[in-house]
Amino acid sequence: MDAISARGADVEESQIEIIRHSEHYWRVNLNNPPLNIMGPQMVREFSELVTEMENNHELKVVVIGSTNPDYFMAHYDVLRDPAESINMAPGPTGMHPVPDAFVRLSRLPVVSIASIRGRATGSGSEIALACDIRFASREKAVLSHWEVGAGFVPGGGPMARMPRLMGRGRALEVLLGADDIHGELAELYGYVNRALPDDELDGFVDSFARRIASFNRDAIAATKRFVDDVSLPADSEMQPAWEAFVSSVGQPFAQERLSDFVKLGLQHPSDIEKRLGYYVGPRP
């Protein structure tokens, strides 16, 4: 088993780890303790990972998970200087590297599977939504979009993806309610394919990925392409949402809300990060 970073640096310094189980099957772990916050470094590494997947003509399936059992990914780094994210060079599609990487991941001839244990909020949910298939821990997975509750717009394209997965009404419930969706309800809504008992998740996902890895790559890629053609949102739907996120997160109301959340421990191991859905709503 070979564990390396997507950037070729030391694994401990990288925020994305690749475990190459075989030439056909990789496991990718998000690895930015303590909360797997996504900031510019992880954006760059994730973009480079997708490029590596695009250029690998043997790879058939990639599982994306986390080294942290409590956080698949907490959310995007909303406390960093926004200029660091805004000024990142566009990706190959011409979009900002966040929507660019998510779009390219979805359109790969490689099958992407999200294995969700712990909280997947904001950009964590958006990575999962960009994957082809999502499996979640029934007891430990928490998916959500907290952005509207904090006063800004989700930036990674859930408005384009969610209605196609779960229908318009449920998508609006998740996005506008800004509350936590636990594994069992996520399965019911179509947010994930299946919610499995936590002690079965890893074995099931690994077995499913190895099954796909045993099949013919051309057949996998062609079948996926036909499904993509009738189910994925147009690329043009993605960049405007990112621009709305960047614009709205800097508005006074959002900054005031975020300032309040910082006092409660936002972006640190804290109760607010464990229960974002509760804290963004009205509290006694």
Under a CB-based contact definition with an 8 Å cutoff, are residues 149 and 280 in contact?
yes
| CA separation for the pair 276, 180 (Å, rounded) | 7
How high is the pLDDT of residue 10? 45
Report in angstroms the alpha-carbon separations of 77 from 35, 95, 238, 257: 10, 19, 19, 15
pLDDT tens digits, 75-122:
999 998 888 888 999 999 999 999 999 999 999 999 999 999 999 999
Terminal alpha carbon distance of the chain:
51
Could you identify the residue written with the tokens 């907290």?
Answer: 146
Interval 109-138: pLDDT, tens: 999 999 999 999 999 999 999 999 999 999
Given this model, what pLDDT does residue 91 score? 97
Q: Is 131 helix (H, G, I), strand (E, B) or coil?
A: coil
Show the domains of the chain with their CATH numbers: 2-280 (3.90.226.10)
User: Smallest Cα–Cα separation from 237: which of 157, 165, 126?
Assistant: 157
* pLDDT (tens digit per residue) in 171-205: 999 999 999 999 999 999 999 999 999 999 999 99
Tokens 């694994």: give the residue.
11
Q: Report the alpha-carbon distance of residue 151 to residue 185 in Å, rounded.
A: 25
Residue 1 pLDDT grade (very low, low, confident, very high; cuts 50, 70, 90): very low
HSE, CB side, 13 Å, CA atoms: give it for residue 168: 0
CB 19 within 8 Å of CB 2? yes
pTM recorded for the entire structure:
0.94
Instruction: Tell me the one-letter amino acid at 263.
Output: K
Measured in degrees and rounded to the nearest 5, phi and psi for residue 120 equal -125, 90
**Number of helices followed by number of strands (H, E) in the chain:** 14, 9
**3-49 per-position pLDDT tens digit:** 444 444 444 589 999 999 999 999 999 999 999 999 999 999 999 99
